Chains A and B, each alone.
Chain A
Amino acid sequence: MKADLNHDALRRFILKAAGAAALTMHFSFLPQELMASGLKSSRSLKGNSNLENWIQIDERGLVTIFTGKVEFGQGIGTALVQIAADELDVAIEKINLIVPDTDISPDEGYTVGSQSVQLSGMAMRQVSAEVRRILLERAASIFQVPIDKLSVADGVISDGSQKITYGQLISIKGDVVGNYKQVTVAKKAADRKISGRSMGRLDIPCKVFAEGAYLHDMRLPGMLHARVVRPVSQGGRLIAVDITSVIKMPGVKKIIQDGSFLAVVAEREEQAIAAAENLSETAVWSELQDLPDQDSLKFFIMSHPETEREILVDMGQEEISTDTKTYEACYFRPYQAHAPVGPSIGVAHWDNGRLKVWSHTQGPYPLKREISSFLSLPEEKIRVIHKGGSGCYGHNPADDAALEAAIIACNMPGIPIRLQWMRQEEFKWEPYGSAMVMDVRASMNKDGSIENWNYNVHGFPHSSRPSGKGGSLLATRYVSGNRKVTPPRRIPSKTGGLDRNARPYYDFKRQKITKNFIEKSPLRTSALRSLGAYANVFAVESFMDELAHQTGQDPVRFRLRHLKDERAKAVIKKVAEMAEWQEEREASEHMAFGRGIAFSRYKNIGGYLAVCVALNVDSRNGQITVSDIYAAVDCGEIINPDGALNQIEGGLLQALSWTLYEEVNFEIHKIISEDWVTYPILTHDRVPKLHVHLVDMPDAPPLGAGEVAQGPLPAAVANALYQATGKRFRELPIIEQK
């Protein structure tokens, strides 16, 4: 492989390599030789509108598909293969998916918001349909028959008497290339044979057999291990450090100090860890007492002087007539952590004038732009390649670790650098889910309907993802040169960040929704699965339950009477049926039982989920045992039902963990949640039975399943606890309050 390799030869090479890999593993990585050279020519693969950016077929009929969306265990890779197989009429085994790589994959920005099937999946479907049609046209002209006389089975086109394969058509007439022209209609739902059916995820066997599926498993020749040394306070500055003893420690190759960014590189991983611990002991940092008192965080948020107030909805003045009765409540959600089981990692290699970065980022292209602008290195000199990490759940420190690895790699040209964060770093330096306060007031008509709804949400940014300006990631705050920290992204209110799902999906006569945004969070924050929806739906659905009870109405019927959307009503009715919903409170001698219901449509434009939580509370010790969670979900067309179930089950349990246990603890000068003892999460012995029903909607557009569960779950728990105990739980986490 030479650097002057032309595009076509490069492509053949990819296909050969990918095709061979397809026989054993669908999620292959490009071979090292390709990574090392031939990169310049791949520029022609940029831009998303060419068919060959998405699908390439070789002479053997093997299909390679490309995506910009990353796999993090949510199953997008498998769904894409299913979609392509279905639309192309090719067996799954003949399709190989290339993981996102900024040199060859379409730029699809971030993999966020439960939109991968809508975006990448539907693009794949359209392109597949178009490629199939082009191949059929070629066959029709060879056979001299009209196209509608042809049929395809596993890449073999037939007119009843003659046959030709996709591979043969490619050898005779060349590759299918060119702009996607949007002239082909994809198959009707009823004609799909693979999409819509459960299929084992293609990435799982590789993980079960320990074949090196994770970035953590990557080993490059000559690779060294790095660790970063962090201050005590988030904003601590490095005042002094004595490296003389550390540099002599076994295996230590280099200590990198750039302003307050301090890192060590060693031959072996445990040597890097030991050296970092040693450095941490000798380093002197300034200590900042700049965090609020955790006990009064709610007040801190509500009375913050730099609050930007934005009225999102205002349907007129509230008229408090004598016939209406007014209720109010205030809800709180603390800072919460992504906390993947495997800490974040970045691998970087400055090789022959080009920087290669391997990352479990959600956005390989945005990360590339961020690194480019941070390092003042032209974008074409950077290649970001995705490789899976531990669970993602939003914007975790993957990008931070990638940039730090890149900084270190630039200091050590030619040597691949593996930087893995330690457990304590992962907890203390990740960008948390924002703490939030929601206060709501409503007045009820005497007919029991809601007349006025006045809702305020207060909180911090929900996205500090790489912006491309070079100031979004953690290292910006520590390297020398007074770099400007890029302000967090303002998320448009169509989907919303802090205000995601702040608008209830109900029809109220009058509502007023106000967002109270505080740009500077004392703890760094970014996107945590479902963003503000988790807390907003907690508040909205808890309050709906309060209003129902205050006015003596059944919470299920109360919701139904305020909804117009039939799909919304359908999931609520379904879950009520599944859980054998009943109003009466049950009790035994020591046990109080409760059931709570909640609903939301994610982002008000995504999937619908209604959930019912059944739990009991032991009056002797206050212990809460959640026994069952029922959920009915409508997320439109589903490509892989079992994959969607897996995600929804996971979402429910993660949200249960957030709700019962999770809170980032801090003192005025430092964060104290630093491991699984100081930040406990849900464990197996506390896991309830899950009963999830997917509404079958093959003809409806896909709406995404990954985050639908997060919002309704906490409210259903709090509502069930109310039924069991008669007490309202308005502050999360709940376990702390019993």
Chain B
Amino acid sequence: MMAKSTINFIVNGSKCECDLPSGTPLLYYLRNDLELNGPKFGCGLGQCGACTILVNGVATRSCITLVEDVSDAEVITLDGLGSREDPHPLQSAFIDQQAAQCGYCMNGMIMTAVGFLAKNSTPTEGEIKEAVSANLCRCGTHQRIIAAIKQGAKGMANES
């Protein structure tokens, strides 16, 4: 048995006391205990990006991140990124560009883009593609996703 001790961190602005055994992938805590819908299970292997969240602003794959890895950190998921009333510019952009078919990859695309745009606010199209190229989309929505991230980048620049 793994050691059990409370791990504290912040998710979408709220304090969490997680007392799951260390070694538990963060994804299951977020989805099943906090009932968040943003991060998705896609592979559990760090290969697809569907489970991406932000940890202290850095895009991170929650399926291969353990609960103890985010001790004292600030986690943001798509659920906390924005709302219908106050959408994040990337959320508005994904709607404007209709950048989804099934949309299962969208969480990963948006969260990876948020992390990336924080480091590079005026990216070229090539840099955007590169940034999300390890996020898989099976529906072939790629062109719209890139267009949405471009639009989101402009939106974020205008906001700041």
Residues in A neighbouring B21, C-beta threshold 8 A? 250
Closest CB pairs A-B (n = 5): A653-B140, A73-B102, A650-B140, A390-B104, A207-B103
Q: Would you give the 0/1 interface string for A382-426, flagging 1 where the beta carbon is closer than 8 Å to chain B? A: 000000111111000000000000000000000000001011000
**What's the nearest-Cβ distance from chain A to residue B91, in Å?**
5
Is the pair A654, B37 in contact by a Cβ cutoff of 8 Å?
A: no
Q: How far is the CA of A341 from the CA of B107 in the complex (A)?
A: 12
**What's the nearest-Cβ distance from chain B to residue A341, in Å?**
5
Residues 193-245 of A contacting B (Cβ, < 8 Å):
200-201, 203-205, 207-214, 216-217, 219
Main secondary structure of the interface of B (DSSP, over half): loop
Q: How far is the CA of A205 from the CA of B92 in the complex (A)?
A: 9
Is the pair B139, A270 in contact by a Cβ cutoff of 8 Å?
A: no
Is the pair B102, A685 in contact by a Cβ cutoff of 8 Å?
A: no
Is the pair B138, A390 in contact by a Cβ cutoff of 8 Å?
A: yes
B151 on the A face (CB < 8 A)? no
Residues 60-82 of A contacting B (Cβ, < 8 Å):
72-74
Q: How far is the CA of A259 from the CA of B136 in the complex (A)?
A: 37
Q: Can you name 14 extra interface pairs (CB under 8 A) apart from A208-B106, A209-B78, A646-B101?
A: A73-B139, A74-B101, A208-B91, A208-B103, A210-B79, A214-B37, A216-B41, A219-B35, A341-B50, A342-B50, A390-B42, A650-B101, A652-B140, A687-B142
Stretch at the interface among A323-331, A600-608, A674-682: A674-682
Bin chain B's interface residue count: 35 or more
Q: How far is the CA of A643 from the CA of B139 in the complex (A)?
A: 13
Residues in A neighbouring B130, C-beta threshold 8 A? 684-685
A284 on the B face (CB < 8 A)? no
Partner of B104, one of A273, A391, A642: A391
A649 on the B face (CB < 8 A)? yes
Partner of A684, one of B31, B42, B142: B142
Is the pair A209, B45 in contact by a Cβ cutoff of 8 Å?
A: no
Is the pair B91, A649 in contact by a Cβ cutoff of 8 Å?
A: no
Query: Who on chain A is nearest to B141 by CB?
Result: A650
Bin chain A's interface residue count: 35 or more
Residues in B neighbouring A650, C-beta threshold 8 A? 101, 139-141
Q: How far is the CA of A270 from the CA of B33 in the complex (A)?
A: 12
Partner of A209, one of B82, B105, B138, B143: B82
Is the pair A646, B25 in contact by a Cβ cutoff of 8 Å?
A: no
Q: Would you give the 0/1 interface string for B69-103, flagging 1 where the beta carbon is closer than 8 Å to chain A? A: 00000000111001110010001001100101111
Residues in B neighbouring A420, C-beta threshold 8 A? 41
Main secondary structure of the interface of A (DSSP, over half): loop
Known: A200-B95, A681-B138. A270 touches B24 (CB 8 A): yes
Residues in B neighbouring A653, C-beta threshold 8 A? 140-143
Query: Who on chain B is nearest to A390 by CB?
Result: B104
B121 on the A face (CB < 8 A)? no
B146 on the A face (CB < 8 A)? yes
Is the pair B139, A391 in contact by a Cβ cutoff of 8 Å?
A: yes
B43 on the A face (CB < 8 A)? yes
Residues 588-604 of A contacting B (Cβ, < 8 Å):
none
Query: Who on chain A is nearest to B82 by CB?
Result: A209
Is the pair A205, B139 in contact by a Cβ cutoff of 8 Å?
A: no
Among the interface residues A207, A273, A343, A682, which one has the most CB atoms of the partner chain B within 10 A? A207
**What's the nearest-Cβ distance from chain A to residue B11, in Å?**
13
Residues in A neighbouring B139, C-beta threshold 8 A? 73, 391, 650, 654
A690 on the B face (CB < 8 A)? yes
Q: How far is the CA of A343 from the CA of B42 in the complex (A)?
A: 6
Is the pair A685, B137 in contact by a Cβ cutoff of 8 Å?
A: no
Partner of B136, one of A216, A268, A341, A652: A341
Residues 32-84 of B contacting A (Cβ, < 8 Å):
32, 35-38, 40-45, 47-48, 50, 77-79, 82-84
Known: A200-B98, A204-B100, A650-B141. A675 touches B32 (CB 8 A): no
A647 on the B face (CB < 8 A)? yes
Q: How far is the CA of A653 from the CA of B144 in the complex (A)?
A: 12
Partner of A391, one of B91, B101, B145: B101
Q: How far is the CA of A423 from the CA of B144 in the complex (A)?
A: 26
Partner of A683, one of B24, B28, B87, B136: B136
Is the pair A73, B24 in contact by a Cβ cutoff of 8 Å?
A: no
Residues in B neighbouring A647, C-beta threshold 8 A? 101
Residues 119-156 of B contacting A (Cβ, < 8 Å):
129-130, 132-146
- For this complex, 14 residue pairs linking A to B, each with C-beta atoms less than 8 Å apart, are A72-B102, A203-B103, A270-B28, A342-B102, A390-B42, A643-B98, A646-B98, A649-B141, A650-B101, A651-B140, A675-B43, A683-B133, A685-B133, A687-B146
A549 on the B face (CB < 8 A)? no
Is the pair A684, B129 in contact by a Cβ cutoff of 8 Å?
A: yes
Partner of B102, one of A268, A269, A339, A340: A340
A280 on the B face (CB < 8 A)? no
Known: A341-B105, A646-B98. A210 touches B143 (CB 8 A): no
Is the pair B138, A684 in contact by a Cβ cutoff of 8 Å?
A: no
Q: How far is the CA of A213 from the CA of B98 in the complex (A)?
A: 16
**What's the nearest-Cβ distance from chain B to residue A209, in Å?**
6
Residues in A neighbouring B44, C-beta threshold 8 A? 273, 422-423
A689 on the B face (CB < 8 A)? yes
Residues in A neighbouring B105, C-beta threshold 8 A? 341
Partner of A423, one of B36, B37, B45, B87: B45
Q: How far is the CA of A393 from the CA of B138 in the complex (A)?
A: 9
**What's the nearest-Cβ distance from chain B to residue A561, in Å?**
33
**What's the nearest-Cβ distance from chain B to residue A446, in Å?**
43
Is the pair A217, B37 in contact by a Cβ cutoff of 8 Å?
A: yes
Known: A681-B136, A683-B136. A269 touches B94 (CB 8 A): no
A41 on the B face (CB < 8 A)? no
**What's the nearest-Cβ distance from chain A to residue B68, in Å?**
14
Q: How far is the CA of A390 from the CA of B139 in the complex (A)?
A: 9
Q: How far is the CA of A210 from the CA of B107 in the complex (A)?
A: 8
Residues in B neighbouring A682, C-beta threshold 8 A? 140, 142
Q: How far is the CA of A369 from the CA of B133 in the complex (A)?
A: 42
Q: How far is the CA of A24 from the CA of B148 in the complex (A)?
A: 24
Is the pair B102, A689 in contact by a Cβ cutoff of 8 Å?
A: no
Residues in B neighbouring A74, C-beta threshold 8 A? 101
A657 on the B face (CB < 8 A)? yes
Query: Who on chain B is nearest to A426 by CB?
Result: B43
Is the pair B41, A342 in contact by a Cβ cutoff of 8 Å?
A: yes
Among the interface residues A72, A73, A689, which one has the most CB atoms of the partner chain B within 10 A? A73
Is the pair B32, A340 in contact by a Cβ cutoff of 8 Å?
A: no
Is the pair A209, B84 in contact by a Cβ cutoff of 8 Å?
A: yes
Is the pair B102, A654 in contact by a Cβ cutoff of 8 Å?
A: no
Residues in A neighbouring B138, C-beta threshold 8 A? 339-341, 390-391, 393, 654, 681
Residues 624-652 of A contacting B (Cβ, < 8 Å):
642-643, 646-647, 649-652
**What's the nearest-Cβ distance from chain B to residue A208, in Å?**
5
Is the pair A646, B91 in contact by a Cβ cutoff of 8 Å?
A: no
Q: How far is the CA of A652 from the CA of B144 in the complex (A)?
A: 13
Residues in B neighbouring A643, C-beta threshold 8 A? 98
Is the pair B45, A268 in contact by a Cβ cutoff of 8 Å?
A: no
Residues in A neighbouring B36, C-beta threshold 8 A? 210
Q: How far is the CA of A343 from the CA of B145 in the complex (A)?
A: 21
Residues in A neighbouring B132, C-beta threshold 8 A? 684
Known: A73-B103, A390-B104, A675-B45. A210 touches B24 (CB 8 A): no
Residues in B neighbouring A677, C-beta threshold 8 A? 47
Q: How far is the CA of A211 from the CA of B38 in the complex (A)?
A: 8
Query: Who on chain B is nearest to A199 by CB?
Result: B98
Q: How far is the CA of A725 from the CA of B109 in the complex (A)?
A: 36
Query: Who on chain A is nearest to B40 by CB?
Result: A342
Is the pair A684, B140 in contact by a Cβ cutoff of 8 Å?
A: no
Q: How far is the CA of A208 from the CA of B88 in the complex (A)?
A: 10
Q: How far is the CA of A643 from the CA of B107 in the complex (A)?
A: 20
Is the pair A676, B142 in contact by a Cβ cutoff of 8 Å?
A: no
Query: Who on chain A is nearest to B106 by CB?
Result: A207
**What's the nearest-Cβ distance from chain A to residue B146, in Å?**
7
